[in-house]
Every structure is written in C-alpha cells, then in structure tokens.
Amino acid sequence: MSRPVLKIGAAALRAAARPVEAVTAEVQALVDEMVAAMYAERGIGLAAPQIGVGLRVFVVDLSSGREAGALRVCINPEWGERDGMQLEEEGCLSLPGFSATVARPARAVVHALDREGARHTVDGTGLMARALQHEMDHLEGTLYVDRLRGLSRSMILNRIKKLDRDGKW
C-alpha cells in the first residue's frame, strides 16, 4: 500500500528536498511506491515530498500508465535549458479539485539519474515541460498556487481554508 498524497498545509510540501546519496534498493522501492500512488490518484506526475519523503525524486507519465515506456523517473534532477512561454491550466494532486492558469516556459530540459542510477536527459515541450517544472517546484517546497497572483491565488487559498474549517480538507 502506498502512502497518501499530502495536501497543501502539510509541512513536508514546503521543505526543500535533500539529494539522494545513492540509488539503492530503498530508493527503487520509493520510486515504485510513488508510481503506484501517482497512478492510483490518476495523476501525471508526483514528487517524493508529496508522499512525505524529503528526497529529490520525481516521476512523470503523461499517459497515466497507458503507454509502455512513457514513465520518466528523475533522481537528483538539475535544470538544463528553459525557454519560450506557455500559459495553460495546471492542477496538482496536493490541491485536489483545484486548477488555475500558470505561466511557465514552453520547453524545459532536466538532467537526472534514472531508477537504475544512469544519467539521462528529459527534454520536454508543452505538457511535458509543464510537468517537469511542476515537479521540480515540489522539490524546492513550491506549489503551483505560489506562482499565482491576485484573485486566482486568493480564491483557491480561501476555498481551501473554508474546506479545512469545515473538516472537508
């Protein structure tokens, strides 16, 4: 059974994640647990801090498990290039039921280790670029709502506060 996905308000979502020292059997088990949690929640990405593990690991699968070879595992990811601009709707498993338009670069490149510890590069555009940037934010303790300003941000945070007060969050 996988750990539950934490919701906004959990301290683990606001802490910068630590680098993975070695890709061990425990790290591979963590990746398996993350993939299972991501698929169970019907997500396309999940970072370790979202299940309460403060390590620099995230997984992305734009196909939600429907396409062989679509899963990307990134351990100790580092930024490569980012360029262009896209404005698209974005959601998060840690803010279920909410989404907002977020500005992000249209292309993003991440260099990381895969689940076996081999170096690889993920070069994404469109939704993949957005997913890479979203998950990298999680590793720094940032949520997409932090990138919003004004009314969009206030409406989401106020609604979450109300749900929390009513015991529904």
d(C-alpha 54, C-alpha 75), whole Å: 12
Per annotation, catalytic residue among 26, 89, 90, 135: 135
Q: Which amino acid is at 6?
A: L
CA 164 to each of CA 51, 151, 157: distance values in angstroms, whole numbers, following the listed order: 19, 20, 10
Phi and psi at 23, nearest 5°, equal -85, 95
Return the ∠ at Cα 93 (arms to 108 and 33), rounded to 5°.
Answer: 90
Active site residue 81: no
Which of the residues are catalytic? Answer: 135
